[in-house]
């Protein structure tokens, strides 16, 4: 687990009730820098998300690590995206394919409280990252 992920999710883990977790996720979304409008293209949209989510997934060739940037048009999804970015940024392709985001969201106590469409959105974002990592390994 990366230190960034642990730092980002600490307040969510420590929140005693769902409403506080929800608030922490939205606050986390505010910390994610906005993408420039010129980057918000149809090619960058993550299909399968009800909200608009733009994501770019690349690998730093010198470090062989994942670099992901993204943005969303809704605060809660932007917060969930921030969690995903903290989970995967800086990992090698091997680490990415072995990381189970669903399990991490479950540990945070989020899965049971998210709507089906938000759960599908998380899956779509993670699938895009996992697919890129798989391509790097093949």
User: Which residue numbers are catalytic?
Assistant: 49
Distance CA(14)–CA(24), nearest Å, equals 10
The answer for 48, left when phi > 0, alpha when psi is -120 to 50, beta otherwise, is: left
Sequence-separated (6 or more) residues with CB below 8 Å from residue 16: none
Distance CA(12)–CA(14), nearest Å, equals 5
The H-or-E segment that residue 21 falls in is helix 18-31
């Amino acid at each position: 687990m990366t230190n960034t992920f642990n730092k980002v999710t600490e307040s969510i883990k420590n929140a005693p009730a769902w409403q506080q977790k929800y608030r922490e996720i939205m606050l986390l979304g505010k910390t994610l820098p906005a993408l420039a409008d010129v980057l918000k293209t149809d090619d960058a949209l993550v299909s399968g998300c009800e909200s608009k989510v733009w994501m770019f997934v690349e690998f730093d060739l010198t470090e062989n690590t994942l670099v992901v940037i993204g943005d969303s048009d809704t605060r809660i999804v932007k917060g969930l995206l921030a969690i995903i970015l903290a989970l995967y940024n800086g990992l090698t392709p091997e680490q990415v394919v072995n990381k189970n985001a669903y399990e991490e969201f479950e540990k945070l106590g989020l899965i049971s409280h998210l709507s089906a469409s938000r759960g599908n959105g998380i899956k779509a974002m993670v699938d895009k990252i996992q697919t890129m990592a798989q391509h790097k390994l093949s």
